[in-house]
Structure 1
Amino acid sequence: MVAYSQCEYHGLSSTSLEAIEAVRGDRKPWSGEAARVWRNRGKCPLTPKETAFILQALNIPTNTTIYLAAGDGIMEIEGFTSVYTNVYTKSSLPSSKDFVQMHGNTKAALDYHVSINSDAYIATYFGNMDKMVSAMRALKGLFKTLALSRRDYANYTAQGLTGEELAKAIWKAHREDFVMGMGTALPDCFCELRL
């Protein structure tokens, strides 16, 4: 997804950047002001490290069991698994023999099945798969679904927010979206007990 987004990513390893360039081919990333505008509109997929930061900002416990429904070549996954350690992928569920025999559509079907039947679903990029999963989850009455705000993350980091200040701003932005009824969210992330 990152390679097709035409987004610039700073701070990635040289191996990751080379892999992205190899997949991009003739598609060049936006640069300069166009890159900033594109990212601030929320058009850029989140990196694993950015995703882990946002989940922590939303108070998702780091021992949560997480299934990553993503492509086979997840780059810099350590940025996520160093924080969230109870992580599974499509390659860790079937036996290695069965996984090798699976083709692309079967792997995608496994991701889809796990995603629509999970206790909660979090979308880091709202592509076609995320739209189908969210719609099916709503049809089944599974409302613990959250689309992470790439736009808010990009805008706050562009303003220079970091650390706890950034985490608080991200939490408030997602809570505001939830309160205003824009999309769906994980209600227990935003509960406030008042007596």
Structure 2
Amino acid sequence: MPASQGSDRYITVKSNGGLNQMRTGISDMVAVAHIMNATLVIPQLDRRSFWQDSSKFSDIFDELHFIKALQGDVRIVRELPKELESIPRARKHFTSWSGMGYYQEMTQLWKDYQVCNSCCKIRFTSCNNDLPLDIQRLRCRALYHALHFSPPIEILGKKLVERLRSRGGRYIALHLRYEKDMLSFTGCTYGLTDAESEELRIMRENTNHWKVKVINSTEQRMSGLCPLTPKEVGIFLQALGFPPSTLIYIAAGEIYGGNTHLSELMSRFPNLVFKENLATKEELKAFTNHASQSAALDYIISIESDVFIPTHSGNMARAVEGHRRFLGHRKTITPDRKGLVKLFDRLESGKLREGPPFLYLVQEMHKNWQGAPRKRRGPLPGIKGRARFRTEESFYENPYPECICGPKAHIEQDKSI
């Protein structure tokens, strides 16, 4: 694929969201710059979002490696040339879910402008499935080969993996999304006290960019839209056959309610480990108040784990699953939350007990939910127009087949959907 030669055309980007929103958005903007034959200026990161992280691009990512790794595809510069800083610019919020043709049409911007300011909230359209092979592979090169974390993050991340290995050899990375912001955003209050539920409601009400304010928690849970509680995770892991001695790294921020809610998971799996147990205070000092850098440590440890288990299908879970698939379909167990809730409620009501029949039901439910090779799912049937693209499986959640080589005999249909 020939490199973009856009030496006199520049795209500047403001990247928003958390770590993995930024990573996938930046990777997509690399592809956009290539399609539009433009030079990409190193993206500016969002410092005003919910995470309030003041990190620059070079604080989180290896800037020099990013530029060099993509030099055959896209020209990337650290800053806009001084002589272009004051000239009129095209300010373009690219339309989400737009495909190849849209960005080819956008090259008309270069007739009148040398610089295009963009907001990096891009989702290719037809997009997850219908982009040219060379563009799909460029997205993978950008994400998996070019967008490395900065040396301080990489060094500490690898140290923490080594320390985990020294404790038991093998470990699970559990992305326990039982954090205040997630519970508030999803409106999930099962197992919480009235006071805790009210605290989350107030937080949701006062967070302006969360558009949905009134949420039925019971309906959310029955639809499988709530993260598993620590208690439910303990029951689930035990049913899958993991022994109590299993080493589990908690890849998450502060767990809501702390040990009060963690106690029932710890009673079944006491060998829980957090960053604070693995790293010294001095090592973690540089990451204080830098949520994206801290999340990058969790990302590294999750990628390198023997098993990755996310308790909610958010950006981190999808990104890690896709990266693990890219690295050879490393084992990822995705809980069928909707199916599990029905079993948990039967346990709660006494209609079912934690014995062989329960274990069989859980294991049968998840035999095809463990990251085995399969083709990416297309849009759900019956949905028309642009909305259908939103129901596709994310390219970054499963970059097969474009970015993963393997014999067709290994590809399984996903029977869990």
> Partner of 1:193 in structure 2?
none
Of the two, which has the highest radius of gyration? 2
Q: Structure 1 residue 124 and structure 2 residue 311: aligned?
A: yes
Residue deviations 1:124-148 (CA, integer Å, cap 9, x gap) = 1111101111111111124321011
> Partner of 2:343 in structure 1?
156
Give the AA of the match of 1:77.
L
Q: Structure 1 residue 25 and structure 2 residue 212: aligned?
A: no
> Partner of 1:8 in structure 2?
189
| Preserved CA contact (<8 Å) 1:66 1:86 | yes
Of 222, 226, 239, the residue aligned with 1:40 is 222
In 2, Cα distance between equivalents of 1:128 and 1:6: 18
Structure 2: gaps of 5 or more residues:
1-181, 207-211, 373-417
Between the aligned residues of both structures, percent identity stands at 30
Q: Describe the shift of the 1:173–1:4 C-alpha distance in structure 2 as closer, same or farther (beyond 3 A).
A: same
Residue deviations 1:136-185 (CA, integer Å, cap 9, x gap) = 111112432101121112223445444326x744642442442xx45527
In 2, Cα distance between equivalents of 1:94 and 1:24: 33
Q: Describe the shift of the 1:168–1:125 C-alpha distance in structure 2 as closer, same or farther (beyond 3 A).
A: farther
Q: Describe the shift of the 1:18–1:97 C-alpha distance in structure 2 as closer, same or farther (beyond 3 A).
A: farther
Displacement after TM superposition at 1:80 (Å): 1.4
In 1, Cα distance between equivalents of 2:184 and 2:358: 28
In 2, Cα distance between equivalents of 1:36 and 1:16: 16
Moved more, 68-77 or 49-58: 68-77
In 2, Cα distance between equivalents of 1:23 and 1:60: 36
> Partner of 1:89 in structure 2?
274
Q: Secondary structure at the match of 1:92?
A: helix
| Preserved CA contact (<8 Å) 2:321 2:332 | yes
Moved more, 16-25 or 35-44: 16-25
Of 50, 53, 61, the residue aligned with 2:235 is 53
Give the AA of the match of 1:46.
L
In 1, Cα distance between equivalents of 2:197 and 2:309: 26
In 2, Cα distance between equivalents of 1:174 and 1:135: 23
| Preserved CA contact (<8 Å) 1:65 1:86 | yes
Q: Secondary structure at the match of 1:91?
A: helix
Q: Secondary structure at the match of 1:164?
A: coil
Q: Structure 1 residue 144 and structure 2 residue 331: aligned?
A: yes
Give the AA of the match of 1:49.
K
Displacement after TM superposition at 1:53 (Å): 1.0
Displacement after TM superposition at 1:14 (Å): 5.7
| Preserved CA contact (<8 Å) 2:340 2:362 | no
| Preserved CA contact (<8 Å) 1:8 1:29 | no
Give the AA of the match of 1:80.
L
Q: Describe the shift of the 1:86–1:18 C-alpha distance in structure 2 as closer, same or farther (beyond 3 A).
A: farther
Q: Secondary structure at the match of 1:77?
A: helix
Q: Secondary structure at the match of 2:278?
A: coil
Question: What TM-score do the two structures reach when normalised by structure 1?
Answer: 0.77
Higher relative contact order (CA 8 A, sep 6+): 1
Q: Secondary structure at the match of 1:121?
A: strand
Q: Describe the shift of the 1:182–1:147 C-alpha distance in structure 2 as closer, same or farther (beyond 3 A).
A: closer
Q: Describe the shift of the 1:80–1:177 C-alpha distance in structure 2 as closer, same or farther (beyond 3 A).
A: closer
Displacement after TM superposition at 1:101 (Å): 2.7
Structure 1: gaps of 5 or more residues:
186-195
Q: Secondary structure at the match of 1:163?
A: coil
Q: Secondary structure at the match of 2:333?
A: strand
RMSD: 2.6
> Partner of 2:245 in structure 1?
63
Of 157, 175, 180, the residue aligned with 2:364 is 175
Displacement after TM superposition at 1:22 (Å): 5.0
